[in-house]
Amino acid sequence: MKKRTGKLLTAALALALLLGLWGAPAYAVGVSVSGKTVKPGDSVSVRVSFSGADIFGVRASFSYDSSVLQFTGGSGGVANGNIVLYGGDKSVNSLSCTLNFKAIAAGSGKVSVSCSESYNRDLASLGGGSGGATVTVAVPAAPATPKPTVPVEKREIPVELGGQTWYLWHNIPDAQTVEGFERIQGAWKGESVELLRQPQTGVVLVFLTDQAGKNGALMVCSEDGTLSAYVPLQISGQYVILNPGTAQVPEGYTPAELTLGGVSVAAWQAAGDDSGYFLVWATDAAGQSGWYCYDPAQGTLQRYAKQVIIVEVTPAPTAAPAPTPAPTPTPTPALGQRLAGDAQAMTLILLLLAAVGVLAAALVILCVKTGSKGKDAPAQDTAKETAVEETQAPEGADAPAAQEAPAAPEANDEKS
């Protein structure tokens, strides 16, 4: 009975697909394809689904990128680039199948599906649709090759740095070479070692590790064998910060802590300077060495120009000088005491006093005489004036007038 029903469904589907029964309107059917990411040689399955209301049958075709993928078969009515699907007794909303491929080369291979016809259980057309997906075939990245760890056996020369023991290698590993440096054979404190030397600058590097052969680092080796951190700077040119060796540090600068790239380098700062600048000894690409001012905030390096650094020095307190006593004045003797001790001077003074006395007496006498003469002169003048008046009186003058003249003295006497 089931076989008979399946045959009837297949026949009905075929008939519907071939004849397009009843001229039913077309609707878009949903087509979805799953993408994958694999590596060359892997097998990959791509699932294709067709969706629609009460979908019953589908006819479609598929294509793929044969330069990346190789078709190996499928399930659910897949063959020769075609897909034919039909539903069963139950109503469903999607039909699906699987396309199997093998990844044959790296790249992106697209799988495309185009549905030409689809029908529901009433044999009404659901229309067509298309879809696609990409299968990415990627070559996995090769795992990082770990740097070989070389045992510390014969190698190497123990060196004390910063309170720890390091080992200077006789031969520098290839992984530690630096562009622009050449390998040369040299010596470090009597031991023959391989060095890296930069021809332009003359900077020489050696390689050191810890006892386990790890934490390797290149260090600058000066002519006297002193080792210092190798810190290259790319600041509008190539510079290498070095240990100044015997170079004289400018006056007014004191050692300071400066770390570049996790490495502590020799640096100085001006006393009392809070600008953040550091003074370092560096060599440029032409091999010219000198003092430079490094600004860690801006990452700039400038040639150091000699300048006056004012250092304030607080003088040590000094004891106050003992006060100088004022000189005791010598008492000056009184004038009388001095004259009493000088007889000649005393005699001279007495003579002067006598002369002054004589002159004073003469002046007094002269004044007395002059005063007495002054008193007699007005009386004589008054008598003379009276006699003249009497002589000049006019004739025939009245007697009473002549008698009245003497009356004035009486009045005067009364007043007096």
* 163 part of a folded domain: yes
CA distances from 121 to 7, 85, 205 (A): 15, 13, 84
Residue 342 lies in a domain: no
| Alpha-carbon span 105 to 66, nearest angstrom | 10
Domain presence at residue 346: no
Average pLDDT over the chain, rounded to an integer: 74
Q: What is the dihedral of CA 168, 173, 179, 183, to 10 degrees?
A: 70
Strand partners, 193: 186
For residue 297, give both structure tokens: 């905030």
The rounded distance, in Å, linking the Cα atoms of 43 and 101 is: 6
Give per-residue pLDDT as tens, 346-382: 788 888 888 888 888 888 888 888 776 655 555 555 5
- How many residues can be counted in the chain? 416
**Containing structural domain, residue 84:** 25-137
Burial of 362 (0-12, 13-18, 19+ CB in 10 A): exposed
Confidence of residue 20 (pLDDT cuts 50, 70, 90): very low
Domain shared by 48 and 109, yes or no: yes
**Is the entire prediction scored with pTM above 0.85?**
no
Residue 234 binned pLDDT confidence (cut-offs 50, 70, 90): low
**Residue 45, domain member (yes or no):** yes
Q: Under 8 Å CB-to-CB from 208, ≥6 apart: which residues?
A: 159, 161, 166, 167, 168, 169, 216, 217, 219, 227
Out of 258, 277, 303, a domain closes at 303
pLDDT in tens, 190-233: 888 889 988 878 888 898 888 888 888 888 888 888 888 887 76
Does residue 124 share a domain with residue 194?
A: no
250 in the same domain as 282 = yes
Q: What is the mean pLDDT of residues 299-315?
A: 62
